[in-house]
Structure 1
C-alpha cells in the first residue's frame, strides 16, 4: 500500500474512532447517505449485479431459474435470508442496468426455517443477506421494491431480528397520529441505507408484513438493485504509523 493511501486509511480511522460511540444513522434519501459517507472520508463501492460474478445466477421466464447458495462480489458474500432459498438475479428486479437481485423461492413459506411460524409476520419474510468477506462494513444502502404492494422493509445489522434499523415515519400534521412509516414500500423502488461508525460484519434486508393465513396467504415479495456500501480493513484502519 502506498504512503498516500495508507495515510488516507489512517485518517479515515481517526474520523470513525471519533464517532465510534454514535448510534447507527438511517437514510431514506440516497444523496444524503452518499454525502455523509463523503464527509467521513469513506470509500464507496457500487454493486449493480451486472458483473461476471453474477453470470451463473441469471433467472428468466424463458431460461428458467438459475440460483446459488451464495455469490461473492466486490468483497461481500450475498445469500438468501432463509435456509430453503438461494440467491438469483433477473431483469424484472433491475433499477438500472439489466439485473437486480432477489431470493428464489421468495421467503421460506413452503419450507420454514426451524422454529419459524409463517403465520406471524416477518418470521418467514422474503429477503437477502450480505456478509463482509475479509473486512468490516461501515455502511450499506440500496433500492428495494415489491410487486405485492404494500410491504414493509426491515434492515438488520446482523441476521433478523438482531439490531433493527428504525427508518422513522412522517406524520401529517406533525403532532398527529396520521403517520406513514418510511419502511412501507410499493412498486416504485425506494432507497434504504444505514451508516454505523462502530462497524458491522453482516446485514439483512427482510420483508416484515407477509404471512400465511388459514385458507390462503398474504405473502410479500421484494426485489433490489444498486447497492452502495463502505467496506474497510480493520487491521489497517487504526494503524498508528507508516511502513
Structure 2
C-alpha cells in the first residue's frame, strides 16, 4: 500500500506500526552542505545516503540545489532550487486555466537513495513557499501522488510505501506555478524511511569530508582536498556543466587522512579547458555503498 500524509504524527504512526527505521535530514551539517549555502549552489549534494538535487537536472536544464536561511522550519537552513524550476512558454499563451506543459515551472527538489534500489519506504518533510503552491510527491518517475495546497505556514507532506519493492527516487513537485504566475517552494526537516538501519548508520560512522578546490576561482591549475575516516576506494573526476567527463583524476584505494589531488586545468587530451564552471566529483565506496560529493570549480582565462 501507498499512503500520503498531511500530518507528521499520522505519518510516524504508520511508520512505527510497520516496523521501519527512520533517519532525519535538516540541512544543518556545514561539513556536508557548506558549499550549498546561498548564494552558493551545487549540482547535487550527498547526505546520509541520499543524493539531493533539483527537479531539473537533465538537458536542456541543469538547475542546481542550494539551502537558504529564509524559511526553515527549524534550525537555520531549508533546501530549494535557486532557479525555481524551468519553463519555456510565453506569458501570452500561458495565461490560461489549463496551460500547456511547457508553461509549468515544476519548482522543487528530489532525492535518490544511494543505499540501493528500492531501499526507501517513505519520505516526509515540511514544505513552505508561495501561498497557494500545490505540492505533490512523485516516486521513481511515476505520476505524482495526491498532494495539496500550502497555506501561510509550514505544511508537512509525506508518503509511505509499504510494498516490498519500495522506491529509490522521490520528487517534491509544485504543479500549478506557470509563466507569469510562478509559485516557489522550500523544504526542511525531512524524515526518510528505510529497512536498512545498518547501511544508514554505516554511512554516518565514517566521515568523508570534501573541502573542494583551492584556489577557486583559478586561472588554470588548482588542487582538490578531501579527507577519509578509513581506507576506501576513491574516484575523483572533473565534469562540465552538461555532465560530460572532462578529466579523471583518481581511481584507486586511498588511506586515512587528508588527500590533495591536483588538476592542471586540462582535459583528457591535454588541452586547456575553456573558462567557465566545472564540477569536481568525489565518489567514495564503503560496504557496497557509494557516496557522491560534488564541488564547483570556476576557471578564468
The TM-score with structure 2 as length reference comes to: 0.57
Name the CA distance, whole Å, in 1 between partners of 2:159 and 2:3.
Answer: 5
CA deviation vs aligned residue, 1:97-125 (integer Å, no higher than 9, x gap): 010100011111369xxxxx995368421
Instruction: Tell me what 1:151 maps to.
Output: 133
Structure 1 counterpart of 2:16, from 10, 34, 38: 38
Structure 2 counterpart of 1:127, from 80, 105, 108: 108
Which structure's CA Rg is the greater one?
2
1:225 aligns with 2:200: no
Unpaired stretches in structure 1, ≥5 consecutive residues: 1-22, 60-64, 112-116, 168-182, 237-243
CA deviation vs aligned residue, 1:113-161 (integer Å, no higher than 9, x gap): xxxx995368421011100012310000001011x321101110123xx
Structure 2 counterpart of 1:194, from 146, 153, 159: 159
Give the structure with the higher percent helix.
Answer: 1
The answer to whether the 8 Å contact 2:105/2:182 transfers is: no
The answer to whether the 8 Å contact 1:84/1:108 transfers is: no
SS at match of 2:21: coil
Structure 2 counterpart of 1:139, from 122, 133, 147: 122
SS at match of 1:35: helix
SS at match of 1:31: helix
Structure 2 counterpart of 1:69, from 43, 52, 60: 43
Name the CA distance, whole Å, in 1 between partners of 2:70 and 2:195.
Answer: 32
- Greater shift, 193-202 or 118-127, is seen at 118-127
CA deviation vs aligned residue, 1:31-59 (integer Å, no higher than 9, x gap): 11111111111111010000121111111
Higher RCO (CA < 8 A, seq sep 6+): 1
Instruction: Tell me what 1:58 maps to.
Output: 37
1:209 aligns with 2:192: no
SS at match of 1:79: strand
Unpaired stretches in structure 2, ≥5 consecutive residues: 200-301
Name the CA distance, whole Å, in 1 between partners of 2:40 and 2:134.
Answer: 27
Give the structure with the higher percent strand.
Answer: 2
Aligned length: 183
CA deviation vs aligned residue, 1:139-186 (integer Å, no higher than 9, x gap): 00001011x321101110123xx142124xxxxxxxxxxxxxxx0113
